[in-house]
Amino acid sequence: MADKPLNVLIIEDNLDDFFLIQAMLEEVETAEFELKHGETLDEGLKLFDDNTFDVMLLDLGLPDSEGFETFAQSYQHSRQIPIIILTGLKDEKLGNRAVKEGAQDYLVKGEISGPLLSRSINYAIERKNAEKKLLKTEESLKKSLQEKEVLLREIHHRVKNNMQIISSLFNLESTYTTNIEEKKIFEDSQNRVKSMAMIHEKLYQSHDLAKIDFADYIKSLASVLFSSYGVSTDIKLTINVEDVLFDIETAVPCGLIVNELLTNSIKHAFPRDRNGEIIIKLHRDDEENFILTVSDNGVGFPEGLDFKNTDTLGLQLVDTLVRQLEGTIELNKKDGTEFIVTFKELFYKKRM
């Protein structure tokens, strides 16, 4: 015998069927059952509210409720316990539908035996307990994920703030020198830090905290650089970027490359208030490579200068970042200057 009787709520309007079920369960030797009986749905649900049950046996055809609606109301009211549907031969489709919607089992009246009913009750209780454990685990995982998202959002926010402090320090240091070249170095360094800070700002503002809309990022970065260097309205900026989402592994080096190449065009392509256009493009080719192009129709790249072997920090940085992206870079000198960077998206690699 079981240590503890199983409390069974039977909602059945046919007394003959109820007494038959009662007799079947009394004959079961491996378990003990305590039954309570309601003849209507309203009566049965009131019994549920006033008592504690392990399982419900539910007839779908009741005086105050008929068909699937009987199960729907019962399940909504008492979803914390398993429900076993009692059907006639003509109601098997309803029984199947109820099982799909949350009932643990259905039994056809006239085909029920004591052992079958007892086994169905025990299995239903075990499955319901397993569902509860699974739901509890799922809720725990959701809570843990939410906590991690909050933490990650805070980390990105703090990194962005710390980078802004570094940028402000560069700005402060630049006020202590009157040397024009030194001031330019501080300004360039500030913008590099800003370009990275903006990545973290976009990440903590994004929905999933993992990827940023790179088209939106490029527009924001270009706006900051144009403002920082006081670019004339005679210089037109065209941005043609596909809808691309990058994670931080790709976004940071790619963002710095855009920063350096755009800065190079702003500073050197249009001397003496010359007008012109700077174009930034990013698209994906048929082989899943990303093609980043930064071009201008300015005075052109100096002849005889190898852009991969220069003394300028900006182009050295670009070359290093392209290698970090495991990509390639080309220079087209026709009709101005055009840098073409080809790369694949990087994915997170576990650090040792």
Per-residue pLDDT of the chain (352 residues; tens, 9 = 90+): 446 899 999 999 999 999 999 999 988 888 889 999 999 999 999 999 999 999 999 999 999 998 899 999 999 998 889 999 988 756 778 888 888 998 999 898 888 888 899 999 999 999 998 988 988 888 888 877 777 777 777 777 777 788 888 888 888 888 888 898 888 888 888 888 888 888 888 877 777 777 889 999 999 999 999 998 888 888 999 999 998 999 888 988 999 999 999 999 999 999 888 899 999 999 999 888 999 999 999 999 888 788 888 878 888 999 999 999 999 999 999 989 999 999 998 875 554 4
Tell how many helices (H) and how many strands (E) occur in the chain. 9, 14
Is the CB of residue 277 less than 8 Å from the CB of residue 236? yes
E strand intervals along the chain:
6-11, 33-38, 55-59, 61-62, 65-66, 83-87, 105-108, 211-213, 235-241, 245-247, 276-284, 290-296, 328-332, 337-343
Q: Is the dihedral of CA 54, 100, 18, 120 positive or negative?
A: negative
- What CA dihedral angle connects 272, 273, 277 and 278, to 10 degrees? 70
CA 61 to CA 91: how far, in whole Å? 10
Residues 6+ apart with CB under 8 A from 289: 342, 343, 344
CA 267 to CA 231: how far, in whole Å? 9
Locate 135 and state its tokens. 């739901």
Pairing of strands 337-343, 290-296: antiparallel
6-112 and 210-352 have identical folds:
no
E strand intervals along 67-203:
83-87, 105-108
Q: Please tell me the predicted confidence (pLDDT) of residue 348.
A: 58
Pairing of strands 83-87, 55-59: parallel
**What is the domain partition of the chain in residue ranges?**
6-112, 210-352
List the Cα angle 222/166/193 in 5-degree steps.
30
List the Cα angle 128/133/135 in 5-degree steps.
90
Locate 95 and state its tokens. 């029984």
Pairing of strands 276-284, 235-241: parallel
Q: Please tell me the predicted confidence (pLDDT) of residue 351.
A: 47
Strand-pairing partners, residue 82, are none
CATH class of this structure's domain 210-352: alpha beta
Task: Decide which of 3.60.20.40, 3.40.50.300, 1.20.20.10, 3.40.50.2300 is the CATH code for 6-112.
Answer: 3.40.50.2300
Q: Please tell me the predicted confidence (pLDDT) of residue 349.
A: 59
Q: Please tell me the predicted confidence (pLDDT) of residue 2.
A: 47
Q: Please tell me the predicted confidence (pLDDT) of residue 323.
A: 92
